[in-house]
């Protein structure tokens, strides 16, 4: 396979559907693209019903392009990360990996245009995050949740408002930032440095004010990142965690038990923001970013140092700090549902706690005048205890009194010392 043939295949896959985010090349399946979170087969000329091991290996080797480091990484570890540019169309972040003796390829399409916070409809609190001078800012979420896009928009805000030196350590470089008010130096792993820990250690001697680390992958990178945040730098990075609480626990879990007390203290002093993301399908197509945002205050610092407890969980702290711009995933889900962006089913699928979200959805429905249940036609059952006027009277006369012909069904109150019921 030649490079021009590979470019033709990739271009065909890109043009097959709108909003393509990933290209998937797997043995035994046709060419596939992911759009709006779902894999869709691609019709090509000539048609490819099922990819063969030879075809996927040929595509993988062309993407590696004779890079000895990537080839050795693939052979030794079973996978490698690369980047690829399709002239005039797109750039890709590439992962090649082996499975059952065959090679598979996933290409993530990278946006060449850097988005702004306004274009992403980010909350106004993000402008405050961009003003931070020191500390640690983490953007977390699953693979494909938009972490890189959020970081690009955040750094673009810095680039337009502050005259500072920014160094990025990426694998690979995704968004190429132009030189505006800020000064960017973007370094790519494999070409400019060997791994994140060494690149971060070198960055401390390169006089940056802001350091972007593509991912906190190991203990050494986290430790150097904490040191950089403690020495007057703003360190921005990502983690593959689903919420703020798990983010804290993941960092602590990278260290030995006897080190954790010290790490808790260092983390409580340096952590500024944790932004977690989930991409949910929108009504009418596309995806919407659901955000959990946690800043730093005395309660957060105390929970990091002492650990979470009843009434002091990160979820409860974030929930009570909504007036300050913080939010839990559940609050974000309810807001998106109330605005008509997502459906009820999507809200329940992407929330953290179903109980509060279900009650919140019912409240939103009541405001709209919608039914909160699918059960209809329910009536109160007659217990049969009410007496109608034509009901037969009890023996001994009319009513409970046992006396004359009164028709009242309510017994007269007994007088003290009379013949009424007595408690023994």
- Which of the residue ranges 327-341, 381-395, 402-416 would you say has the lowest mean pLDDT? 402-416
The predicted-structure confidence for 102-131, as pLDDT tens digits, reads as follows: 999 999 998 778 999 999 999 999 999 999
Helical spans, DSSP H, in 16-146: 53-64, 68-77, 125-130
Mark whether 61 and 174 lie in a shared domain.
no
What CATH number has the domain bearing residue 81? 3.30.450.90
Q: What percent of the chain has pLDDT over 70?
A: 88
Tokens of 253: 């879990």
The whole-number pLDDT of residue 88 equals 76
Q: Tell me if 138 sits within 8 A of 273, measured CB to CB.
A: yes
pLDDT of residue 170 exceeding 60: yes
pLDDT of residue 155 exceeding 80: yes
Mark whether 23 and 148 lie in a shared domain.
no
What gap in Å lies between CA 402 and CA 396, rounded to an integer?
Answer: 6
The whole-number pLDDT of residue 393 equals 47
Between 194 and 33, the more confident residue is 33
Mark whether 30 and 71 lie in a shared domain.
yes
Other beta carbons within 10 Å of 138: 25
- The mean predicted confidence, pLDDT, of the chain is 88
The whole-number pLDDT of residue 401 equals 45
Mark whether 93 and 232 lie in a shared domain.
no
The predicted-structure confidence for 353-392, as pLDDT tens digits, reads as follows: 999 999 999 999 999 988 887 766 666 676 555 555 544 4
Closest CA to 275 of 399, 121, 151, 118: 151
Mark whether 249 and 299 lie in a shared domain.
yes
Mark whether 22 and 162 lie in a shared domain.
no
Mark whether 102 and 158 lie in a shared domain.
no
pLDDT of residue 415 exceeding 60: no
């Amino acid at each position: 396979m030649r490079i021009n043939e590979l470019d033709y295949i990739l271009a065909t896959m890109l043009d097959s559907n709108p909003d393509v985010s990933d290209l998937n090349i797997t043995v035994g399946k046709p060419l596939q693209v992911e759009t709006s979170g779902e894999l869709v087969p691609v019709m090509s000329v000539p048609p490819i019903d099922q990819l063969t091991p030879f075809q996927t290996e040929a595509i993988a080797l062309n993407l590696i392009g004779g890079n000895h480091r990537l080839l050795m990484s693939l052979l030794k570890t079973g996978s490698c990360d690369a980047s690829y540019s399709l002239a005039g169309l797109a750039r890709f972040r590439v992962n090649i990996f082996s499975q059952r003796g065959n090679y598979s390829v996933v290409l993530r399409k990278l946006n060449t245009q850097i988005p702004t916070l306004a274009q992403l409809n980010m909350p106004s609190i993000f402008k405050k995050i961009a003003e931070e001078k020191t500390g640690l800012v983490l953007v977390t979420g699953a693979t494909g949740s938009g972490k890189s896009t959020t970081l690009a928009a955040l750094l673009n805000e810095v680039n337009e408002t502050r005259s500072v030196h920014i160094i990025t350590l990426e694998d690979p470089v995704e968004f190429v930032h132009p030189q505006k008010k800020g000064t960017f130096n973007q370094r790519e792993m494999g070409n400019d440095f060997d791994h994140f820990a060494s690149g971060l250690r070198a960055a401390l001697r390169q006089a940056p004010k802001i350091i972007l680390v593509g991912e906190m992958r190991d203990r050494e990178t986290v430790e150097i990142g904490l040191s950089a945040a403690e020495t007057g730098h703003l360190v921005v990075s990502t983690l593959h965690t689903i919420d703020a609480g798990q983010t804290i626990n993941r960092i602590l879990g990278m260290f030995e038990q006897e080190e954790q007390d010290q790490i808790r203290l260092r983390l409580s002093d340096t952590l500024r923001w944790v932004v977690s993301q989930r991409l949910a399908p929108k009504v009418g197509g596309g995806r919407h970013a659901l955000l959990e945002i946690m800043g730093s205050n005395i309660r957060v610092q105390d929970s990091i140092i002492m650990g979470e407890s009843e009434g002091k969980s990160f979820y409860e702290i974030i929930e009570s700090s909504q007036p300050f711009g913080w939010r839990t995933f559940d609050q974000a889900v309810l807001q998106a549902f109330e605005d008509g962006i997502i459906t009820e089913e999507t809200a329940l699928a992407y929330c953290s706690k179903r109980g509060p979200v279900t009650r919140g959805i019912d409240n939103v429905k009541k405001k709209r005048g919608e039914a909160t249940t699918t059960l209809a036609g329910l009536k109160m059952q007659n217990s049969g205890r009410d007496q109608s006027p034509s009901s037969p009277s009890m023996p001994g006369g009319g009513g409970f009194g046992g006396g004359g012909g009164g028709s009242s069904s309510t017994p007269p109150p007994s007088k003290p010392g009379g013949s009424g019921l007595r408690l023994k």
